[in-house]
């Protein structure tokens, strides 16, 4: 045994306890410790049965993910579980917290399972691009049937104790003191000479021959580009094809090994750690004091303001919304209620929960009513003059220590902060539309924003269910700044001869939820057009040139909301269809510009759209707008649907190879001469050293 696994006997019951905080991950020392403790319990003649449990906050939450990619160390987890299952003494798993992955697989190697009512168990390996590799794909079907096991493993979601009891996985659900009741239960089993129940001895048959192919078809769209879901199905199918358990374990191990070395799993394991790492701010100790946020003020009850408010209401935080007119307030409140009721209709919340959220919502027409809020977020019109007026009022009415946040997506947070007497309390909180749905929250640190405000807002991000990423001040911060470069390349490619549909297909096939033009139609062509028109009025010399997208916007072809934009949309159908009007405008533009069109290859489309993003990401890192490559990865995964099985923009670039990307960027720069193709110095350096962003 060792200090991460202990054995002690309580009366006639031996207890094996795993103590490897924070989540009792099943690293090498734990696996060895379990076997040592099992040997001790087996040799202990006074122990009539054995309990295995987790110390601290949870039963083991799985294999130690950090060990993957390193040389495997015996004993392997499958071997540990096989030895638990072969024990001649009754083995009872006592579960609390979240028994996930290998943790749940350990329980399946036991004869009985007792769980605390608040406990959850699940096999989430699929989200790491893996499959349950310690017998889970062979034992779970034997307990709950092939179809249910396949669905549970591909969903990869934790399941509640009561649900697991109904499914036949958990034998007893207890509340209160788990250990006392697990000991009791073990004694009862001993007293009635309960039999050993190795799960491997149970039979499993597929409910029908088609369940596997039918299920594959049903997940095809959602699992597009992923590898693991389909390997999970194959592993469960193997369990039904032979009663030889060892043969099934062998097939499981083969499929697991294929996944473990796949780029998809490396990417998904990177994302697992990256989405936790983003919450850690270098230079700001996690013990930095955080302010209490008990009441929030929102300025603006429009789509954004209402969506932002919902995040806090759903987290149980009272919100006071301010508008200039009662009618706007009424409209905003009605929209919030409508959104909640739509969620309730989908069964994702109860009507009581809707009323609870709505009861936390308050409205006002007077700034003075915001004097007691702890945080104010403004979501007013994207105009610096308007924002400064709002912040001037907030500076006047808000209490000392209140955090003043702007939801701006393009304006200079420093300039806004300077319009107050408390720049250290000003921060950007850039929500993505729809604000109550999108997980990404770019928290924008101004030059004077205090560490305490940053720490408070980063912790608050998690509390309201967002993935908060701390970014610096520049136009578009991280996400939109990269997006604008891609949109520009996409438009250039069409000017040169590609079609919008071709560009969109290349990026959709890469794994993005939609292509650049379908995305523009979703956001609304009028949004960009108004900004460009504003620039053409204010600063004609430097404004972006007029192009076919402007021509479409002028005809009120604003996208999905007007039934047509770059693409046409049939009534009630969001499927983008190529439009003759757009083709004519593109043709007209090319003629005016004297452009000699050419065939543009899919490869060129992919390289130009994605490499310009990588180059901009590198410049963002150079300028310190993003702190680490993983911050850029997380922004694009959670803000724009960058495929998680590619790990994020910078992780993917490393997998392609920076030398290859740099060479192409240099070529594009020579050909186009455009500033955005000027290679990033950081990229040039890393490529020259044969390194990747991951080496930073």
Distance CA 451, CA 614 (A): 29
Q: Quick check: 33 and 1 in contact, CB under 8 A?
A: yes
Kindly list the distances between the CA atom of residue 327 and the CA atoms of 309, 334, 357, 365, in Å, as whole numbers in the listed order: 18, 11, 21, 11
> Nearest distance from residue 60's CB to ligand T1G, in Å?
8
> Nearest distance from residue 246's CB to ligand T1G, in Å?
17
Of the pair 59, 477, the CB lying nearest ligand T1G is at 59
Strand partners, 94: 53, 114
Rule CB under 6 A: is residue 199 a binding residue for ligand T1G?
Answer: no
Rule CB under 6 A: is residue 516 a binding residue for ligand T1G?
Answer: no
How big is the CA angle at 349 (ends 318 and 226), to the nearest 5 degrees? 110
Kindly list the distances between the CA atom of residue 475 and the CA atoms of 205, 296, 379, 480, 523, in Å, as whole numbers in the listed order: 59, 27, 17, 8, 18
The window from 40-48, 131-139, 333-341, 646-654 that contacts ligand T1G (CB under 6 A) reads 131-139
- Give residues 259-278 in contact with ligand T1G (rule: CB under 6 A): 273, 276
The window from 132-140, 324-332, 341-349, 512-520 that contacts ligand T1G (CB under 6 A) reads 132-140
Rule CB under 6 A: is residue 128 a binding residue for ligand T1G?
Answer: yes
Contact pick of 85, 111, 125, 374 for ligand T1G (by CB under 6 A) = 125
CB-facing half-sphere around the CA of 407: CA atoms within 13 A:
28
The window from 17-25, 46-54, 406-414, 541-549 that contacts ligand T1G (CB under 6 A) reads 17-25
Rule CB under 6 A: is residue 140 a binding residue for ligand T1G?
Answer: no
Rule CB under 6 A: is residue 136 a binding residue for ligand T1G?
Answer: yes
Q: How many chain residues bind ligand T1G (CB under 6 A)?
A: 25
Distance CA 302, CA 123 (A): 41
Rule CB under 6 A: is residue 305 a binding residue for ligand T1G?
Answer: no
Which among 75, 52, 78, 68 is positioned nearest to 135, based on CA atoms?
Answer: 78
Distance CA 646, CA 650 (A): 9
> Nearest distance from residue 140's CB to ligand T1G, in Å?
11
Rule CB under 6 A: is residue 284 a binding residue for ligand T1G?
Answer: no
Residues 6+ apart with CB under 8 A from 433: 303, 304, 307, 523
For 359, the token pair is 């009861």
Of the pair 153, 182, the CB lying nearest ligand T1G is at 153
Under DSSP, is residue 22 helix (H, G, I), strand (E, B) or coil? coil
Of the pair 28, 388, the CB lying nearest ligand T1G is at 28
User: Does the annotation count 125 as an active-site position?
Assistant: yes
CB-facing half-sphere around the CA of 122: CA atoms within 13 A:
18
Of the pair 14, 62, the CB lying nearest ligand T1G is at 62
Q: Quick check: 635 and 479 in contact, CB under 8 A?
A: yes
Build a one-symbol-per-residue string for 34-73: x at contacts with ligand T1G by CB under 6 A, - elsewhere.
---------------------------xxxxxx-------
Kindly list the distances between the CA atom of residue 664 and the CA atoms of 421, 673, 676, in Å, as whole numbers in the listed order: 48, 13, 13
Q: Quick check: 211 and 150 in contact, CB under 8 A?
A: yes
Build a one-symbol-per-residue string for 70-109: x at contacts with ligand T1G by CB under 6 A, - elsewhere.
-------x--------------------x-xxx--x----
Kindly list the distances between the CA atom of residue 163 and the CA atoms of 143, 167, 171, in Å, as whole numbers in the listed order: 14, 6, 11
Rule CB under 6 A: is residue 130 a binding residue for ligand T1G?
Answer: yes
> Nearest distance from residue 16's CB to ligand T1G, in Å?
18
What values do phi and psi take at 98, rounded to 5? -125, 100
Contact pick of 47, 90, 108, 134 for ligand T1G (by CB under 6 A) = 134
The window from 9-17, 47-55, 129-137, 551-559 that contacts ligand T1G (CB under 6 A) reads 129-137
For 668, the token pair is 């594009």
Contact pick of 14, 33, 54, 124 for ligand T1G (by CB under 6 A) = 124
The continuous run of DSSP H or E covering 639 comes out as helix 629-640
The residue from 125, 275, 442, 585 that is catalytic is: 125
The residue from 105, 323, 442, 616 that is catalytic is: 105
Distance CA 626, CA 647 (A): 17
- DSSP state letters, 175-224: -S-HHHHHHHHHHHHHHTTPPP--GGGS----SSTTHHHHHHHHHTTTTT
Of the pair 274, 600, the CB lying nearest ligand T1G is at 274
Q: Quick check: 402 and 425 in contact, CB under 8 A?
A: yes
Rule CB under 6 A: is residue 450 a binding residue for ligand T1G?
Answer: no
Of the pair 164, 321, the CB lying nearest ligand T1G is at 164
Build a one-symbol-per-residue string for 464-503: x at contacts with ligand T1G by CB under 6 A, - elsewhere.
----------------------------------------
Under DSSP, is residue 116 helix (H, G, I), strand (E, B) or coil? strand
User: Does the annotation count 533 as an active-site position?
Assistant: no
Of the pair 104, 114, the CB lying nearest ligand T1G is at 104
Contact pick of 4, 5, 13, 23 for ligand T1G (by CB under 6 A) = 23
Site for ligand T1G, rule CB under 6 A:
22-23, 25, 61-66, 77, 98, 100-102, 105, 124-125, 128, 130, 132-134, 136, 273, 276
Active site residues: 105, 125
């Amino acid at each position: 045994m060792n200090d991460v696994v202990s054995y002690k006997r309580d009366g006639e019951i031996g207890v094996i306890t795993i103590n490897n905080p924070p989540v009792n991950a099943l690293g090498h020392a734990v696996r060895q410790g379990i076997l040592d403790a099992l040997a001790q319990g087996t040799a202990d003649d006074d122990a009539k049965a054995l309990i295995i449990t987790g110390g601290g906050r949870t039963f083991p939450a799985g294999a130690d993910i950090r060990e993957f990619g390193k040389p495997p160390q015996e004993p392997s987890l499958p071997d540990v579980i096989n030895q638990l299952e072969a024990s001649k003494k009754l083995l009872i798993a006592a579960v609390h917290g979240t028994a996930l992955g290998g943790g749940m697989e350990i329980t399946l190697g036991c004869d009985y399972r007792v769980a605390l009512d608040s406990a959850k168990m699940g096999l989430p390996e699929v989200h790491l691009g893996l499959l349950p590799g310690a017998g889970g794909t062979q034992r779970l079907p034997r307990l709950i049937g092939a179809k249910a096991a396949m669905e549970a493993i591909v969903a990869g979601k934790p399941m509640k104790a009561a649900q697991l009891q109904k499914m036949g996985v958990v034998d007893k659900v207890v509340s209160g003191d788990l250990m006392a009741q697990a000991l009791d239960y073990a004694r009862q089993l001993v007293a009635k000479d309960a039999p050993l129940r190795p799960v491997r001895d149970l039979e499993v048959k597929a409910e029908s021959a088609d369940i596997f192919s039918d299920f594959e078809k049903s997940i095809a769209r959602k699992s597009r580009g992923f590898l693991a879901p389909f390997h999970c199905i194959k592993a469960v199918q193997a369990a039904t094809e032979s009663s030889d358990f060892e043969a099934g374990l062998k097939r499981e191990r083969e499929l697991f090994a294929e996944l473990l070395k796949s780029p998809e799993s490396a990417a998904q394991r990177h994302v697992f750690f990256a989405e936790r790492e983003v919450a850690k701010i270098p230079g700001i100790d996690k013990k930095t004091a955080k302010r209490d946020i008990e009441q929030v003020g929102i300025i603006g009850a429009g789509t954004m303001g209402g969506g932002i408010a919902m995040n806090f209401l759903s987290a149980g935080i009272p919100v006071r919304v301010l508008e200039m007119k009662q009618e706007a307030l009424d409209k905003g409140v009605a929209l919030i209620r409508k959104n909640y009721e739509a969620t309730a209709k989908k069964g994702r919340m109860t009507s009581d929960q809707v009323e609870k959220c709505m009861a936390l919502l308050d409205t006002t027409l007077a700034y003075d009513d915001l004097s007691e809020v702890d945080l104010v977020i403004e979501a007013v019109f994207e105009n610096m003059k308007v924002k400064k007026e709002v912040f001037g009022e907030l500076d006047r009415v808000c209490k000392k220590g209140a955090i003043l946040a702007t939801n701006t997506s393009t304006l200079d947070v420093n300039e806004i902060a300077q319009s107050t007497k408390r720049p250290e309390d000003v921060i950007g909180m850039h929500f993505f539309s729809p604000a109550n749905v999108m997980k990404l929250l770019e928290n924008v640190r101004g030059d004077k924003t205090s560490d305490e405000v940053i720490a408070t807002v980063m912790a608050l991000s998690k509390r309201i269910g967002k993935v908060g990423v701390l970014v610096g001040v520049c136009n578009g911060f991280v996400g939109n700044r990269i997006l604008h470069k891609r949109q520009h390349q996409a438009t250039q490619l069409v000017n040169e001869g590609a079609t919008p549909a071709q560009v969109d297909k290349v990026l959709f096939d890469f794994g993005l939820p939609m292509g650049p033009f379908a995305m523009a139609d979703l956001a609304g062509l009028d949004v960009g057009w108004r900004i460009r028109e504003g620039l053409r009025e204010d600063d004609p010399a430097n404004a972006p040139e007029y192009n076919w997208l402007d021509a479409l916007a002028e005809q009120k072809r604003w996208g999905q909301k007007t039934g047509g934009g770059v693409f046409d949309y049939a009534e009630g159908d969001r499927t983008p269809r190529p439009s003759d009007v757009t083709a004519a405008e593109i043709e007209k533009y090319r003629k005016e510009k004297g452009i000699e069109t050419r065939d543009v290859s899919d490869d060129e489309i992919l390289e130009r759209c994605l490499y310009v993003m990588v180059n901009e990401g590198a410049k963002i890192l150079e300028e310190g707008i993003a702190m680490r490559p993983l911050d850029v990865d997380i922004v694009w995964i959670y803000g724009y649907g960058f495929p998680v099985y590619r790990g994020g923009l910078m992780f993917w670039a490393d997998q392609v190879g920076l030398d290859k990307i740099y060479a192409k960027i240099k070529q594009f720069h020579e050909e186009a001469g455009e500033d955005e193709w000027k290679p990033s110095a950081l990229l040039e350096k890393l490529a020259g050293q044969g390194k990747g962003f991951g080496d930073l």
